[in-house]
């Protein structure tokens, strides 16, 4: 989509609520901060994105296997990984209202639109330097008050297990899905026939107790991740070549599988200060959201840090034995990690189209990700012969494709509704259909219509999705 027709975040949020993509969670009780539910259409779109991710990176690759680890792991897992000691964000507090804000987000919001700061990287600042920046530039809270000095705020959610009061054990809701892969590394080796180089992928919920800044589903307390740990022997595999290969595959998935415009995507290399100390190289795919360029998908060369840390703390060997040379070593890891909610939001933003010529809003979703692949209509809902014929078509197609039935209102209103939820084609049964066994197919993007035989519908949809 060209930049001059891009939606505001408010327009996307309004569409999501109006058409059932995303709802504020627990809204009847006033909601919950930074928390959302995916509605009937949102859950379909989300599932399509996850299924495509799993198919592309797990099912179609002989060097990949999948995993589904627990949300609550032994708490020592997070001690070993460093999350208990250093998994934090810099927080500042409004001195009058006591509301918390992320210091880096405060600075980014203040810099927005200021040309002299367009290349400034806030992540390069330490927590102390962020405090100095806020004070030097006299940045105030949204309520117009001064901020406190920034402090580090741990992001892990704590909970407890145990049936007897006073005998409960503290555990954490996982802050990332990656550690479940590392703690299961030995079991995967022992139970499968994988050999280096190979990867383990996982889709699942993670939790971070962070203060967010109203960026909808971009940053939430509970979110879903798609993470891969790709293990290799650095003496046999050039990490730079492997890294570049993953960059190509990630960008290909976003552009060619999800159908997102390349003009709104870029690669950004992490600076030395921003990059995690154990990472040898980190890049992000950034997407141009309505609130600016933000991280979509990260790629990091984590060396052997994670397996080494889990070995030290558990006392268990997580070494790999080469089946040919019997050499024992700790594999290195390249990690592509993406937030599924961010892919979801990117897909909606990129597909949102204001068709001013026809006075309509269209979600130009790629047919692969669209919640429904087709809508089936009877021209008139009070004509049993039309309804019966349309129902037969709907029942036949729904065995193979997710399709939607719609008989509400006049045909024009039905078209506009389907355009707004991203349905690629509408199939209308009219009186002529009763005579020649053909239907009218209307294209969402062009509004052009054509007649095809009912017997050709499955082939038509299959070609559309290919």
Together in a domain, 232 and 329? yes
Rounded Cα–Cα distance for residues 322 and 325 (Å)? 6
Rounded Cα–Cα distance for residues 401 and 113 (Å)? 45
Mean pLDDT of 189-211: 92
332-339 sheet: strands from edge to edge: 64-67, 198-207, 222-232, 332-339, 292-303, 281-289, 265-269
Tell me which of 84-93, 361-370, 413-422 is least confident. 84-93
What's the number of domains the chain is made of? 2
pTM equals 0.88
Rounded Cα–Cα distance for residues 413 and 1 (Å)? 25
Together in a domain, 221 and 279? yes
Residue 136 lies in a domain: no
Rounded Cα–Cα distance for residues 262 and 285 (Å)? 11
Together in a domain, 190 and 292? yes
Residue 89 lies in a domain: no
Together in a domain, 194 and 317? yes
Place of tokens 């499955």: 458
Residue 326 lies in a domain: yes
* 396: confidence class by pLDDT, cuts 50, 70, 90: very high
Together in a domain, 210 and 315? yes
Together in a domain, 224 and 262? yes
What pLDDT is recorded for position 144?
Answer: 87
Q: Which two tokens stand for residue 386?
A: 């039309």
Together in a domain, 292 and 378? no
- Over residues 360-374, the pLDDT tens digits come to 999 999 999 999 999
Judge whether residue 200 has pLDDT over 80.
yes
Domain with 179 in it: what CATH number? Answer: 3.30.930.10
Together in a domain, 341 and 389? no
Given a contact cutoff of 8 angstroms between Cβ atoms, the answer to whether 385 and 374 are in contact is: no
Together in a domain, 299 and 431? no
Question: What mean pLDDT, rounded, does the chain reach?
Answer: 91
Residue 85 lies in a domain: no
- Over residues 154-166, the pLDDT tens digits come to 788 888 887 555 6
Judge whether residue 2 has pLDDT over 50.
no
Q: Closest Cα partner for 279 from 250, 243, 244?
A: 243
Domain with 447 in it: what CATH number? Answer: 3.40.50.800
Rounded Cα–Cα distance for residues 364 and 15 (Å)? 14
Tell me which of 36-40, 56-60, 122-126, 227-231 is least confident. 122-126
Mean pLDDT of 407-429: 95
Residue 195 lies in a domain: yes
Q: Which residues partner with 207 through β-bridges?
A: 222
Together in a domain, 322 and 384? no
Q: Provide the domain limits for residue 215.
A: 3-73+173-349
Q: 401: part of which helix (H) or strand (E)?
A: none
Judge whether residue 212 has pLDDT over 70.
no
- Over residues 102-147, the pLDDT tens digits come to 788 888 888 887 888 877 878 778 888 888 899 888 898 888 888 8
Together in a domain, 241 and 299? yes
């Amino acid at each position: 989509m060209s930049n001059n027709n891009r939606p505001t975040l408010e327009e996307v949020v309004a569409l999501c609520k109006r058409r059932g993509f995303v709802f504020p969670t627990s809204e009847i009780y006033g909601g919950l901060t930074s928390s959302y539910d995916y509605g009937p259409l949102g859950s379909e779109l989300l599932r399509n994105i996850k299924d495509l991710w799993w198919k592309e990176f797990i099912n179609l690759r002989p060097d990949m296997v999948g995993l589904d680890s627990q949300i609550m792991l032994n708490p020592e897992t997070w001690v070993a990984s460093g999350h208990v000691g250093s998994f934090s964000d810099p927080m500042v507090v409004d001195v009058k209202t006591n509301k918390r804000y992320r210091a880096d987000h405060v600075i980014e919001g203040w810099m927005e639109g200021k040309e002299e700061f367009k290349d400034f990287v806030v992540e390069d600042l330490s927590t102390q330097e962020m405090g100095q920046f806020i004070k030097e530039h006299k940045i105030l809270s949204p309520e117009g008050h001064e901020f406190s000095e920034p402090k580090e705020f741990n992001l892990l959610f704590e909970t407890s297990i145990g049936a007897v009061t006073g005998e409960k054990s503290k555990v954490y809701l996982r802050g990332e899905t990656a550690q479940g892969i590392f703690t299961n590394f030995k079991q995967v080796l022992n139970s499968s026939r994988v050999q280096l180089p190979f990867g383990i992928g996982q889709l699942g919920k993670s939790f971070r107790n962070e203060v967010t800044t109203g960026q909808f589903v971009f940053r939430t307390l509970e979110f879903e991740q798609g993470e891969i740990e790709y293990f290799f022997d650095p003496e046999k595999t050039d990490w730079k070549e492997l890294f570049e290969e993953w960059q190509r595959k990630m960008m290909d998935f976003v552009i060619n599988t999800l159908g997102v415009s390349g003009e709104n995507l870029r690669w950004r290399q992490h600076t030395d200060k921003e990059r995690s100390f154990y990472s040898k190289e980190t890049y992000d795919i950034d997407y141009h959201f309505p609130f600016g360029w933000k991280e979509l998908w990260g790629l990091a060369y984590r060396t052997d840090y994670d397996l080494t840390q889990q070995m030290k703390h558990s006392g268990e060997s997580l070494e790999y034995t080469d089946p040919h040379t019997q050499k024992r070593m700790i594999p290195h890891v390249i990690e592509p990690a993406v937030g599924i909610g961010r892919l979801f939001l990117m897909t909606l933003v990129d597909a949102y189209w204001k068709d001013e010529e026809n006075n309509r809003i269209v979600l130009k979703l790629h047919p692969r990700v669209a919640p429904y692949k087709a809508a089936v209509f009877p021209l008139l809902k009070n004509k049993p012969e039309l309804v019966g014929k349309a129902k037969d078509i709907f029942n036949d197609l729904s065995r193979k494709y997710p399709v939607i039935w719609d008989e509400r209102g006049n045909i024009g209103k039905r078209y506009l509704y389907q355009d707004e939820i991203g349905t690629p084609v509408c199939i209308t049964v009219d009186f002529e259909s009763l005579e020649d066994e053909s239907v009218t197919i209307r294209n969402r993007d062009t509004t052009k219509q054509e007649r095809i035989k009912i017997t050709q519908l499955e082939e038509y949809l299959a070609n559309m999705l290919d």
